[in-house]
């Protein structure tokens, strides 16, 4: 129950911040933008500006309109020769309405540069034939549309590039709605982009997301398994014999403080630029920790067990193979689970070594383009892979080590009963073939 | 004031049949012989002598208990006998051969639970025979008989964590016996059990001992346990650990709980108590007379 909460609370918080406009929302997402005379920074609809800056932006446009409005009257002469530049900026004003028309469904994405269609929309809005609703225009902007149309209609009723308004039009005042910064996209946007990214098929230069996942997992598990293969025997030997402990552990202890990423260039020189240096980085990042942890686990094996085995006639080799190794296995398994999590933390750095690859390459590129709604699904996916690997491993533990008393007997759960039916039936069938033959003599009389 | 009525020397007044019993015992071959055993430790405060000139013999099929005040080195003694620690001086002979290290000829049952948790009861019992290369169905059926002997046939496929403390120690006994040792060394094996289970286990142990050709050296700090189980009780002194006296227990066998109130039993216990706590008078003297004073009121 609490586990459910532990997952749903952060999700709820994310939804609340994203969908409740009065929570946070420090930015304004522009729906209508405008150019400012003499200012090079241009905002286009969809951009986010801070709450503090937005009124300033509005004010600048209004002042600009005040300067322009006297020239709207046909009586006032316009400077000769400025007609073409006025036309150009007027065309921009014309198109400022386009994104709003797209989000209202009046235009398609492709029509944003179709001046004729936009011209019609201006007419419709000005005459009141049709009004945008999603989002609507402010009264102020409606007024501007009407004033502009009054001027525009004198030149031409439909769009005519040659006979376009040559007197300055009023700019639309910026309009926007409260929004969160682009590094916190709303859940639905993350879901949609995630779905898009994960269903995109592979292309020549661009592997599909699942190929990337496979690639990343290969690096993590490859590096980790190599580290375990080398490190576990060393660790067990260090934990069993103090001679090896003194010989190996001090250097290992020193080496693990050298950050693995610092070896990345060296690794590229040695292993060249493919997956090898990446796995090697995971390997280096994991193995020293692994040796020390395994050695420690081995040392924690209860001494009386070793003594008991000795009094039962076990020699040194048997102590190692029959007591030490089976005795530490469950703890070793747990250690490796924790160290696998450790190996995952090296993934991102490893994939930046040499040629960028896998999920990290995707995150890097999309992050640079500020497509955070595509970045989050991947980050979450890495988390999920790690989490579920660990959960599965911890579930399997109960099957591998039925003799550990932690928690309820996992073999008694319904799923386990189904899974274990065949092996159990097989075992009982084998047992029946070796009948119990009691001997009549007492075993001690020999 | 309670007078202790028992004659402290009663246990020495041996009836002829008791004297005969111990004479017969000493005619048997010596299984374990400890001769002038010393054990010293180097510590920060200097050299500590844990055992000093300890000598005794254990005869075949004898049940000997070792008792002594805490810190008398009884655990050190049994660990040396098991070969888990080395002595500083002196000899330990098993059937005349010097003991050099741990081996399957001396079975040991520890106070802590030392069953291998990853093995079932049956596999635990088979551990010793397996170490010496015995395998197959005959080894398995033999293991079943040992498990049967300690009454745990139903649990042969259970793991140790599924057993109670007493059951674990029974398996530990079966496991030690499966190696057919010359002597069974038991280091306070029932110390961690509750009183009732302990009583049961004592009876179990006597039953097993009576049915097998096995010699037992049993360490305990419990007077009742020693007097109930032993043929002879080796009483150690503390600081340094020396042999104080070897008591020959006059209580006849087979033993039962009914004998706890016989004069022989009480006398034996009293004698052990005297040896372990020599300076202590009547326990009543040590306590001040209880003043039954109501709150604040000074009552003369």
A233 and A172 share one domain: no
Contact call for A312 and B214, based on CB within 8 A:
no
A206 and A174 share one domain: no
**B32-37: average pLDDT:** 95
Q: Which of A307, A323, A444 sits opposite B180 (nearest CB)?
A: A444
Is the CB of A318 inside 8 Å of chain B's CB atoms?
yes
Contact status, residue B171 vs residue B126, Cβ threshold 8 Å: no
A172 and A202 share one domain: no
Contacts of A442 in chain B (CB under 8 A): 145, 211-212
**B84-90: average pLDDT:** 93
Q: What is the pLDDT of residues A175-221, one digit of tens each?
A: 888 888 888 888 998 999 999 988 888 887 788 899 999 999 999 99
Contact status, residue B132 vs residue B178, Cβ threshold 8 Å: no
Contact status, residue B229 vs residue B205, Cβ threshold 8 Å: yes
Given a cut of 80, whether residue B140 has pLDDT beyond it is: yes
Split at pLDDT 50, 70, 90, the class of B182 is very high
Strands (E), B126-271: 183-187, 215-219, 232-237, 242-248
| Number of other residues whose CB lies within 10 A of the CB of residue B52 | 20
Is the CB of B97 inside 8 Å of chain A's CB atoms?
no
> DSSP secondary structure string, A288-330?
HHHHHHHHHHHHTS-HHHHHHHHHTT--HHHIIIIIIHHHHHH
Distance CA A1, CA A204 (A): 47
Residue in B221, B176, B173 with CA at minimum distance from that of residue B201: B173
**B182-192: average pLDDT:** 94
Instruction: Assess if residue A152 is contained within a domain.
Output: yes
Split at pLDDT 50, 70, 90, the class of B159 is very high
Report DSSP state, residue B156.
Answer: T
Contact call for A322 and B179, based on CB within 8 A:
no
Distance CA A236, CA A130 (A): 80
* B157 → chain A, closest CA residue: A403
Is the CB of B214 inside 8 Å of chain A's CB atoms?
yes
Q: Which of B131, B140, B142 sits opposite A312 (nearest CB)?
A: B131
Distance CA A267, CA A281 (A): 7
Mutation target vs B (from A301, A308, A314, A333; most B CBs, 10 A cutoff): A308
Model pLDDT, residue B233: 95
What architecture does CATH give domain B10-105+183-276?
3-Layer(aba) Sandwich (3.40)
Residue in B195, B187, B156 with CA at minimum distance from that of residue B174: B156
Distance CA A11, CA A5 (A): 10
Interhelix angle B195-211/B165-177, nearest 10 degrees: 20
Residues with Cβ within 8 Å of A102's Cβ and at least 6 positions away in sequence, in order, are A108, A109, A111, A112
Model pLDDT, residue A417: 59
Radius of gyration of chain A (CA): 36
Model pLDDT, residue B4: 47
Distance CA A180, CA A353 (A): 34
Interhelix angle A264-271/A275-299, nearest 10 degrees: 120
Contact call for A403 and B127, based on CB within 8 A:
no
Mutation target vs A (from B80, B103, B127, B186; most A CBs, 10 A cutoff): B127
Q: Which residue has the tokens 């994939």?
A: A351
Q: Specify the range with the lowest mean pLDDT, choosing from A37-41, B17-21, B37-41.
A: A37-41
Q: Which of A308, A445, A446 sits opposite B110 (nearest CB)?
A: A308
Contact status, residue A62 vs residue A173, Cβ threshold 8 Å: yes
Distance CA A386, CA A365 (A): 23
- B215-219 and B89-94: which strand pairing? unpaired
A118 and A245 share one domain: no
Instruction: Calculate the average pLDDT of chain B.
Output: 87
A104 and A235 share one domain: no
Strands (E), A95-228: 175-179
Residue that terminates a domain, selected from A114, A149, A179: A179
Distance CA B247, CA B12 (A): 9
Contacts of B176 in chain A (CB under 8 A): 311-312
Name the minimum distance, in Å, from the CA of A418 to any CA of chain B: 21
What is the maximum span of chain B, computed from C-alpha positions, in angstroms?
81
A291 and A175 share one domain: no
A256 and A374 share one domain: yes
Distance CA A138, CA A32 (A): 11
Model pLDDT, residue A371: 87
Residue in A346, A349, A359, A217 with CA at minimum distance from that of residue A283: A346
Number of domains in chain A: 2
Backbone angles phi, psi at A416, to 5 degrees: -65, -35
Residues with Cβ within 8 Å of B67's Cβ and at least 6 positions away in sequence, in order, are B74, B219, B220, B221, B223, B226, B233, B234, B235, B236, B272, B276
Model pLDDT, residue B6: 53
Residue spans per domain, chain B: 10-105+183-276, 112-180
Residues with Cβ within 8 Å of B76's Cβ and at least 6 positions away in sequence, in order, are B39, B50, B51, B85, B241
Mutation target vs A (from B116, B130, B160, B163; most A CBs, 10 A cutoff): B116
A165 and A217 share one domain: no
Given a cut of 80, whether residue B294 has pLDDT beyond it is: no
Instruction: Assess if residue A169 is contained within a domain.
Output: yes
Distance CA A40, CA A28 (A): 20
User: Which residue numbers in chain A have pLDDT < 70?
Assistant: 75-81, 405-446
Contacts of A302 in chain B (CB under 8 A): 112, 114
Contact status, residue A277 vs residue A264, Cβ threshold 8 Å: yes
The neighbouring-strand residues paired with B48 are B41
* B163 → chain A, closest CA residue: A405
Instruction: Assess if residue A355 is contained within a domain.
Output: yes
Model pLDDT, residue B293: 56
Domain range enclosing A289:
196-406
**B40-56: average pLDDT:** 89
The neighbouring-strand residues paired with B206 are none
Strands (E), A24-99: 27-32, 48-50
Name the minimum distance, in Å, from the CA of A3 to any CA of chain B: 29
A266 and A334 share one domain: yes
Mutation target vs A (from B102, B176, B178; most A CBs, 10 A cutoff): B102
Contact call for A307 and B102, based on CB within 8 A:
yes
Contacts of A309 in chain B (CB under 8 A): 116, 127, 131
Model pLDDT, residue A443: 46
Q: What is the pLDDT of residues A263-307, one digit of tens each?
A: 988 998 999 878 999 999 999 999 999 999 999 999 999 999 999
Name the minimum distance, in Å, from the CA of B284 to any CA of chain A: 41
Given a cut of 80, whether residue B10 has pLDDT beyond it is: no
Instruction: Assess if residue A162 is contained within a domain.
Output: yes
Is the CB of A439 inside 8 Å of chain B's CB atoms?
yes
CA A331 centroid distance within chain: 32
A357 and A307 share one domain: yes
Mutation target vs A (from B131, B134, B174, B183; most A CBs, 10 A cutoff): B131
A143 and A205 share one domain: no
Contact status, residue B266 vs residue B254, Cβ threshold 8 Å: no
Q: Which of A305, A311, A404 sits opposite B82 (nearest CB)?
A: A311
Is the reported ipTM for this assembly greater than 0.95? no
Instruction: Give residue B95's region: left, alpha or beta (phi > 0; psi -120 to 50).
Output: left
Distance CA A34, CA A60 (A): 10
Is the CB of B295 inside 8 Å of chain A's CB atoms?
no
Strands (E), A33-81: 48-50
Contact call for B108 and A311, based on CB within 8 A:
yes
| Number of other residues whose CB lies within 10 A of the CB of residue B183 | 22
Better pLDDT: B270 or A226: A226
Contacts of B132 in chain A (CB under 8 A): 313
A124 and A263 share one domain: no
Edge-to-edge order in the sheet of strand A175-179? A48-50, A27-32, A175-179
């Amino acid at each position: 129950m609490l586990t459910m909460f532990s997952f749903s609370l952060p999700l709820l918080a994310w939804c609340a911040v994203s969908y409740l406009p009065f929570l946070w929302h420090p930015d304004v997402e522009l729906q209508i933008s405008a150019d400012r005379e003499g200012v090079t920074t241009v905002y286009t609809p969809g951009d986010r500006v801070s709450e503090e800056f937005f009124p300033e932006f509005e004010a600048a446009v209004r002042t600009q309109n005040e300067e322009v409005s006297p020239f709207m009257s046909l009586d006032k002469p316009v400077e000769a020769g400025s007609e073409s530049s006025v036309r150009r900026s007027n065309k921009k004003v014309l198109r400022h309405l386009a994104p709003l028309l797209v989000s209202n469904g009046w235009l398609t994405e492709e029509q944003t540069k179709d001046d004729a269609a936009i011209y019609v929309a201006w007419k419709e809005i000005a005459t009141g034939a049709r009004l945008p609703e999603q989002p609507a225009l402010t009264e102020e902007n409606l007024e501007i549309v009407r004033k502009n149309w009054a001027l525009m209609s004198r030149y031409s009723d439909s769009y005519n590039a040659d006979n376009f308004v040559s007197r300055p039009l009023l700019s639309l005042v910026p309009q926007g709605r409260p929004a969160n910064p682009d590094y916190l996209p709303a859940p639905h946007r993350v879901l949609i982009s995630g779905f898009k990214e994960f269903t995109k098929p592979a292309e020549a230069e661009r592997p599909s997301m699942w190929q990337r996942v496979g690639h990343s997992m290969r690096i993590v598990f490859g590096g980790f398994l190599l580290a375990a293969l080398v490190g576990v025997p060393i660790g067990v030997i260090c934990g069993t014999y103090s001679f090896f402990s003194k010989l190996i552990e001090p250097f290992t202890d020193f080496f693990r403080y050298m950050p693995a990423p610092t070896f990345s260039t060296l690794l590229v020189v040695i292993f060249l630029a493919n997956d090898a240096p990446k796995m090697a980085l995971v390997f280096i990042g994991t193995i020293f920790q692994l040796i020390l942890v395994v050695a420690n686990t081995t040392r924690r094996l209860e001494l009386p067990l070793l003594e008991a085995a000795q009094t039962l006639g076990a020699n040194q080799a048997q102590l190692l193979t029959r007591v030490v190794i089976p005795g530490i296995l469950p703890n070793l398994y747990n250690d490796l689970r924790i160290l696998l999590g450790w190996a995952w933390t090296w993934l991102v750095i490893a994939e930046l070594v040499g040629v960028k690859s896998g999920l990290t390459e995707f995150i890097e590129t999309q992050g640079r383009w500020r497509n955070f709604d595509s970045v989050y699904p991947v980050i979450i996916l890495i988390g999920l892979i790690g989490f579920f690997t660990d959960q599965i491993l911890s579930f399997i533990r109960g099957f591998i080590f039925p003799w550990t008393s932690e928690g309820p007997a996992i073999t008694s759960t319904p799923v386990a009963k189904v899974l274990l039916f065949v092996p159990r039936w097989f075992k009982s069938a084998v047992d029946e073939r070796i009948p119990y033959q009691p001997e009549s003599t007492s075993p001690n009389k020999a | 004031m309670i007078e202790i009525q028992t004659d402290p020397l009663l246990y020495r007044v041996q009836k002829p049949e008791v004297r005969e019993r111990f004479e017969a015992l000493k005619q048997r071959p010596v299984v374990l012989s400890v001769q002038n055993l010393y054990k010293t430790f180097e510590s920060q405060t200097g050299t500590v002598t844990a055992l000093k000139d300890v000598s005794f013999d254990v005869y075949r099929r004898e049940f000997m208990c070792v008792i002594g005040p805490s810190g008398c080195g009884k655990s050190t003694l049994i660990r040396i006998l098991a070969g888990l620690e080395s002595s500083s001086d002196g000899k330990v002979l098993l059937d005349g051969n010097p003991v050099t290290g741990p081996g399957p000829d001396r079975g040991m049952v520890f106070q802590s639970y030392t069953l291998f948790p990853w093995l079932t009861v049956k596999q635990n019992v088979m551990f010793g025979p397996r170490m010496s290369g015995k395998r197959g169905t005959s080894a398995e059926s033999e293991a079943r008989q040992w498990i049967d002997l300690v009454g745990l046939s139903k649990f042969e496929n259970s793991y140790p964590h599924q057993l109670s403390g007493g059951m674990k120690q029974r398996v530990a006994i079966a496991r030690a016996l499966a190696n057919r040792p010359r002597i069974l060394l038991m280091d306070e094996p029932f110390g961690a059990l509750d009183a009732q289970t302990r009583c049961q286990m004592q009876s179990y142990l006597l039953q097993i001992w009576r049915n097998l050709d096995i010699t037992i050296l049993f360490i305990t700090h419990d007077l009742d346990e020693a007097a109930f189980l032993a043929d002879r009780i080796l009483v150690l002194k503390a600081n340094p650990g020396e042999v104080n006296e070897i008591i020959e227990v006059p209580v006849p066998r087979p033993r039962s709980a009914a004998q706890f109130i016989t004069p022989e039993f009480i006398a034996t216990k009293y004698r052990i108590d005297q040896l372990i706590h020599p300076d202590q008078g009547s326990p009543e003297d040590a306590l001040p007379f209880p003043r039954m004073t109501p709150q604040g009121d000074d009552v003369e």
